[in-house]
């Protein structure tokens, strides 16, 4: 009969204890976990990349539902514990349940500190601690406007950089004279301030918040000197406070945090505590490395190992703001017994400072070039005597130790007990042994087995070098697939950087992102053209030279160099006048083939290029426009006859299809988009293998999406149901806009949905009404410039050079 372990809290520290414990003995305990947050365990230190748009929620999950199930852990999600009865060894949940324990683990974490000023509880004031905060910040950023971040520490700056990258006008209000004063000296603080200002963030140092202004929602912040900063969003990032109330109520010894000894036991030997709620040796920790050290000791003790000790952890800090390299560790206050070595290169934005005491490193600050961070941190932790290399110490490992400059060789030269992953305390020897012993060959496997590089990811490069050293040529680093040979960046990076850097032309993108070719290639140029068109719909001028020929001449090139022309037939409806015009055109221009397409319209095949404008003019005269049969955009909306004619029809599916097509035509998307509307579940319009399909039912409209019937056959998934046509169209437009903003060029909707997750998409376009509305509005804005019939433009003479030869030497010869 296994012993019963109850865990209160489901954050990173608790999750790590369980990982460690399961690795030691999966059957030692039957485990119940109470998590007050409705979510499963995720990597909180990656909230900044989520905010900046570099990662999504799924990327930062540590344990998903399947993990709890596989390990037979009873997860009480969204249930807080309200009482601990130490006599009876039982805990009471907020749901009234009573659970008994043999061992109890308290991992209640911490809460953000909230400034005790008027207005601190107004809507629009958030902290930066969990995904709800990030969601609130993202929602605010989508509306644009101004944000004030209170606190210029690590979290505050990451929040500020993320919001600025999302397009908000951001001011950081910081009490102290320089930023991150606990980790940085004033010189590095200045360099950091300059880098933040270059990202468009305004820094107000020596500024104290007096009040937060607003009646029903925050409108601004008033400083002590009376100045008022307007704000639509206020983020408080001024520190954390251990959550110790439950422990205190249970009569455990509590100071600032829950007091624990080196064995991670509280004053009750059956109750352990780890994480940010803990106070050990007078210190409360807020970084991940010490939490993981605590978890390792707690797991060992729970497993009966009486020797495991937590003796405190030296912590190193890295700022997670893309493009700002900053590392600090240890103590760098000034003192008579201390000396410092400084290297300053303001032009290059490099600053390094090493603080020495009795020939040993006690503190290090690196700014701009942090490659040697691990090496300095290693010297610091070991207390290595550096007197022999003091002259060259500041230049880093390769110079100071005479080791070669090659980074791979530098990694090879590291001793086995050199720490590689600071978050998880994994050293080189452990990684190398595990790679060899377990036969690992991918970064994901190394992360799974050793935890190295599994948290903040800053050491990923080092881990990859170790893999390369151990495996030789067998190791192929799993990097992001670049867009094409012109760049090392993947589609998502390019897109994010286009938005963050407000890059608004193809040359600007290539210049700023360091394209390796002078003019791109046929793979990247159309992608960039699409991204710019989608992101800056009102400003960007389409670049015809970066369009594939079909989209440039608005017809489909055929194998013999002739073209096919497909006029739009809204929802598949046509009439005698249109059919007569099509017949006339086919005869007048000797069009060899006329075919009915799968999308309920008519294709004219074999049109000579020079005839295209005249063909279009004739079709235009009969009221027809381009069907965009060639476009990475909305193609067709296929319909059945619906309630007008069909004895089974529940709604006017034809009418809805026409409405959708008239609203959405002309929009450019990452890949083609085909839609269908069926009037009843018999589904005669085959809506359930379309990118977006609507099935009408008596009570309204089922919206399905992410189907395909081409290279791959895929049934759709149900997105949601709506009662009215208007709601149905709003959801479809919001879905399409989300796909436009997130899909990679040429990535069909079903592939995007696979990659992103149907639940995540549903949360954005169904559950979050604000988000749906703003997506819908962005779609409408984009349509204003997109809904122009390209045929009519060309009939008017647009791009006339496309359709006539530059010179005709045949005529010349005939004349001679």
Q: Which residues make up the interface to other proteins (CB under 8 A)? A: 517-522, 525-526, 544-546, 548-550, 552-553, 557, 559, 561, 801, 805-810, 812-813
Question: Cα dist. 284→81, 265, 278, 471 in Å?
Answer: 22, 15, 6, 41
Closest of 560, 552, 553 to residue 529, by C-alpha: 552
Exposure string of 473-499, with b = 16+ CB inside 10 Å and e = fewer, is eebeeeeeebbbebbebebbbbbbbbb
CB of 544 to other proteins, least distance (A): 8
Whether 680 has a binding-site annotation, put simply, is yes
684 in a known ligand binding site: yes
Strands (E), 666-794: 673-678, 692-697, 700-705, 708-709, 713-714, 717-722
**φ, ψ (nearest 5 deg) of residue 18:** -65, -45
Sequence-distant (6+) residues with CB within 8 A of 361 are 330, 354, 355, 376, 379, 380, 384, 386
CB 748, min distance to other proteins, A: 19
Cβ proximity to other proteins: between 110 and 529 the closer is 529
Among 196, 193, 190, 130, smallest CA distance to 162 is for 196
Task: Assign 389 to helix, strand or coil.
Answer: helix
Q: Name the residue nearer to other proteins (CB basis): 327 or 530.
A: 530
Q: How far is the CB of 613 from other proteins (least distance, A)?
A: 15
Which pair of structure tokens corresponds to residue 755? 């990659």
Q: Are strands 169-173 and 146-150 parallel, antiparallel or unpaired?
A: parallel
Relative to beta strand 700-705, strand 233-236 is unpaired
Nearer to other proteins, 97 or 517 (CB): 517
Phi-psi region of 591 (alpha: psi -120 to 50; beta: other; left: phi over 0): beta
Q: Is the dihedral of CA 519, 521, 524, 526 positive or negative?
A: positive
Q: Is 449 exposed, middle or buried (0-12, 13-18, 19+ CB in 10 A)?
A: middle
DSSP 3-state of 329: strand
Q: By C-beta, is 363 or 520 nearer to other proteins?
A: 520
Shortest distance, CB of residue 519 to other proteins, whole angstroms?
A: 5
CB closer to other proteins out of 450 and 546: 546
Q: What is the dihedral of CA 135, 139, 145, 148, to 10 degrees?
A: -20
Least Å distance, CB 484 to other proteins, is 10
| Strands, E assignment, 36-93 | 74-77, 81-85, 90-93
DSSP calls for 661-688: HHHHTT-B-SS-EEEEEESSTT-TT-GG
Provide the minimum distance between the beta carbon of 751 and other proteins in the complex, in angstroms, as a whole number.
20
What would the two tokens of residue 714 be?
């895929």
As a whole number of angstroms, the distance between CA 101 and CA 113 comes to 32
| CB closer to other proteins out of 522 and 596 | 522
For residue 58, what is the DSSP state? G
Q: How far apart are CA 178 and CA 354, in angstroms?
A: 19
Q: Is the CB of 255 or the CB of 558 nearer to other proteins? A: 558
Tally the C-alpha atoms within 13 A of residue 791's C-alpha that lie toward its C-beta. 25
Nearer CB in complex with other proteins: 525/771: 525
Instruction: Decide whether 520 or 567 has the Cβ nearer to other proteins.
Output: 520
DSSP 8-state symbol, 402? -
**For residue 328, what are the β-bridge partners?**
317, 365
What is the token pair recorded at 583?
Answer: 């017949």
Q: Smallest distance, Å, CB 547 to other proteins?
A: 8
Shorter beta-carbon distance to other proteins: residue 350 or 521: 521
CA distance linking residue 295 with residue 66, whole number of Å: 22
**CB 803, min distance to other proteins, A:** 10
How many Cα atoms occupy the beta-carbon half-sphere of 496 within 13 Å? 18
Q: Shortest distance, CB of residue 489 to other proteins, whole angstroms?
A: 18
Of residues 545 and 682, the one with the C-beta less far from other proteins: 545
Residue 689 is labelled as binding a ligand: no
Alpha-carbon span 610 to 612, nearest angstrom: 6
Toward other proteins, which CB reaches closer, 402 or 519? 519
> What order of strands is seen across the sheet that includes strand 125-127?
125-127, 233-236, 146-150, 169-173, 201-204
Q: In whole angstroms, give the CA distance from residue 768 to residue 760.
A: 11
Between residues 141 and 612, which has the closer beta carbon with respect to other proteins? 612
Compute the least distance from the CB of residue 513 to other proteins, in Å.
16
DSSP string, 136-165: HHHHHHHH--EEEEE--SHHHHHHHHHHHH
Q: Tell me the binding residues.
A: 640, 646, 680, 684
Q: Tell me the binding residues for [4Fe-4S] cluster.
A: 640, 646, 680, 684
Q: Tell me the binding residues for siroheme.
A: 684
């Amino acid at each position: 009969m296994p012993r019963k372990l109850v865990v209160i809290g489901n954050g990173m520290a608790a999750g790590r204890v369980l990982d460690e414990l399961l690795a030691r003995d999966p059957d030692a305990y039957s485990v119940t976990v109470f998590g007050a947050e409705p979510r499963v365990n995720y990597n909180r230190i990656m909230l900044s990349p989520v905010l900046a748009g570099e990662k999504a929620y799924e990327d930062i999950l540590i344990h998903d539902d399947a993990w709890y199930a596989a390990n037979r852990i009873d997860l009480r999600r969204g249930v807080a514990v309200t009482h601990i009865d130490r006599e009876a060894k039982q805990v009471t949940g907020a749901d009234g349940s009573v659970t008994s324990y043999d061992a109890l683990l308290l991992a209640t974490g911490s809460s953000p500190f909230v400034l005790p000023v008027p207005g601190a509880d107004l809507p629009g004031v958030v902290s930066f601690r969990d995904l709800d905060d990030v969601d609130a910040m993202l929602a605010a950023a989508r509306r644009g406007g101004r944000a004030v971040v209170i606190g210029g520490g690590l979290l505050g700056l990451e929040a500020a950089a993320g919001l600025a990258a999302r397009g908000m006008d951001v001011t950081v209000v910081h009490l102290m004279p320089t930023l991150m004063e606990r980790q940085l000296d004033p010189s590095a603080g200045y360099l950091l301030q300059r880098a933040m200002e270059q990202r468009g963030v305004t820094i107000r140092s020596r500024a104290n918040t007096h009040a937060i202004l607003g009646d029903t929602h925050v409108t601004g912040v008033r400083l002590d000197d009376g100045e008022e900063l307007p704000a639509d969003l206020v983020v408080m990032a001024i520190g954390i406070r251990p959550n110790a109330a439950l422990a205190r109520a249970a009569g455990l010894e509590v100071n600032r945090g829950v007091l624990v000894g080196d064995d991670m036991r509280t004053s009750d030997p059956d109750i352990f505590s780890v994480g940010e709620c803990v106070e050990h040796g007078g210190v409360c920790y807020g970084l991940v490395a010490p939490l993981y050290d605590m978890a390792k000791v707690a797991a060992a003790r729970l497993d009966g190992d009486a020797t495991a000790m937590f003796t405190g952890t030296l912590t190193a800090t890295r700022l997670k703001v893309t493009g700002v390299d900053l590392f600090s560790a240890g103590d760098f206050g000034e003192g008579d017994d201390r000396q410092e070595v400084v290297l300053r290169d303001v032009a290059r934005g490099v600053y390094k400072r090493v603080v020495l005491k009795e020939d040993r490193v006690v503190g290090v600050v690196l700014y701009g070039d942090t490659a040697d961070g691990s090496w300095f941190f290693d010297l610091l932790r070991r207390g290595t005597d550096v007197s022999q290399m003091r002259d060259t110490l500041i230049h880093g490992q390769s110079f100071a130790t005479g080791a070669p400059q090659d980074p791979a060789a530098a990694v090879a030269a590291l001793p086995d007990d050199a720490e590689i992953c600071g978050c998880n305390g994994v050293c080189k020897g452990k990684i190398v042994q595990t790679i060899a012993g377990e036969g690992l060959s991918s970064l994901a496997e190394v992360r799974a087995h050793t935890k190295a590089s599994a948290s903040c990811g800053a050491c990923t490069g080092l881990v990859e070098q170790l893999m390369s050293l151990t495996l030789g040529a067998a190791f192929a680093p799993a990097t992001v697939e670049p867009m094409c040979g012109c760049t090392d960046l993947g589609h998502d990076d390019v897109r994010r950087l286009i938005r963050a850097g407000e890059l608004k032309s193809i040359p600007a993108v290539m210049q700023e992102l360091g394209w390796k070719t002078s003019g791109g290639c046929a793979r990247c140029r159309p992608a960039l053209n699409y991204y710019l068109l989608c992101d800056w719909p009102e400003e960007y001028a389409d670049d015809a030279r970066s369009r594939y020929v079909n989209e440039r001449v608005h017809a489909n090139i055929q194998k013999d160099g002739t073209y096919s022309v497909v006029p739009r037939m809204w929802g598949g409806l046509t009439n005698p006048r249109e059919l007569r015009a099509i017949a006339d055109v086919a005869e007048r221009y000797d069009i060899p083939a006329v075919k009915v397409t799968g999308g309920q319209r008519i294709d004219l095949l074999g049109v000579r290029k020079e005839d295209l404008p005249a063909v279009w003019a004739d079709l235009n005269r009969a009221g027809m426009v381009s069907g965009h049969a060639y476009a990475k955009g909305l193609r067709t909306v296929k319909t059945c006859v619906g309630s007008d004619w069909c004895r089974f029809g529940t709604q006017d599916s034809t009418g809805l299809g026409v409405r959708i097509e008239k609203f959405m035509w002309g929009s450019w998307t990452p890949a083609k988009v085909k839609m269908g509307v069926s009037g009843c579940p018999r589904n005669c319009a085959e809506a359930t293998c379309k990118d977006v399909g609507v099935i009408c039912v008596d009570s309204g409209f089922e919206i399905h999406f992410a189907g395909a019937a081409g290279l791959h056959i895929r049934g759709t998934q149900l997105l949601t149901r709506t009662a009215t046509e208007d709601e149905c169209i709003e959801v479809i437009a919001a879905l399409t806009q989300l796909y436009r903003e997130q899909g990679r060029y040429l990535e069909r909707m079903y592939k995007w949905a696979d990659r992103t997750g149907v639940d995540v998409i549903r949360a954005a376009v169904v559950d979050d009404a604000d988000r749906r509305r703003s997506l819908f509005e962005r779609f409408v804005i984009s349509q204003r410039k997109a809904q122009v019939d390209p045929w009519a433009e060309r009939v008017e003479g647009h791009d006339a050079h496309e359709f006539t030869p530059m010179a005709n030497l045949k005529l010349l010869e005939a004349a001679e």
